[in-house]
Amino acid sequence: MKKRRAMTIAVYAGTFDPLTEGHVSVVRQAVRLFAHVRVLVAVHPTKKPLFTADERVAMIREALAMMPTVSVAWTSKLVIEHARAIGATHLVRGLRDAADAAWETDLARQNRELAPDLSTIMLPAEAHLAKVSSSELKARAARGDDLEPWCPPSIAAHLRTRIAEQAR
């Protein structure tokens, strides 16, 4: 008799302005660990994103459409509030390097103080993807560099279009 896997929900939150292949690498790992992964676009009042929250959600949905256990939403509230509202038990955080690890460890401690019922799991992006952040991806797009190694093709197309619109 097969054991049923408990419905575990994890929230992977970030600005995702835009989604990179490093982010996708983290999602791929998370879907192997959890029954459902919510990719959550976190809207921060001090950040000036290139894309609106709705645009980022739509682009991420398009890029991750082949992963049926992934859903995408956005929030301007605390991530832990959203996680609790959907019954999540875990927060997923992606790591690029040692600097990320220090920052993410502090964030995990803060989240643990606010929400002891939520566990944080940190997943490193694949090594060859660790050097490209969303900011670096935007800089590469502005220079006209090849984007396909660093983000899904649909994201690259949206990014090129937005950079061209801004250049007009």
Which residues are catalytic, by number? 23, 47, 96, 134
Show binding-site residues for ATP.
15-16, 23, 94-96, 104, 129-135
Query: Distance between CA 147 and CA 164 in Å, rounded?
Result: 14
3 state DSSP class of 46? coil
Residue appearing with tokens 């929250």: 53
In the chain, DSSP finds a helix count (H) and a strand count (E) of 6, 5
Which letter does DSSP use for residue 52 in this model? -
Show binding-site residues.
15-16, 23, 47, 79, 93-96, 104, 129-135
Q: Read off φ and ψ for residue 93, nearest 5 degrees.
A: -130, 140
Q: Read off φ and ψ for residue 36, nearest 5 degrees.
A: -145, 140
Show binding-site residues for substrate.
15, 47, 79, 93
What's the chain's length in residues?
168
3-state helix/strand/coil string of 109-131: HHHHHHCCCCEEEEEECCHHHCC
* Amino acid in the structure at residue 153: P
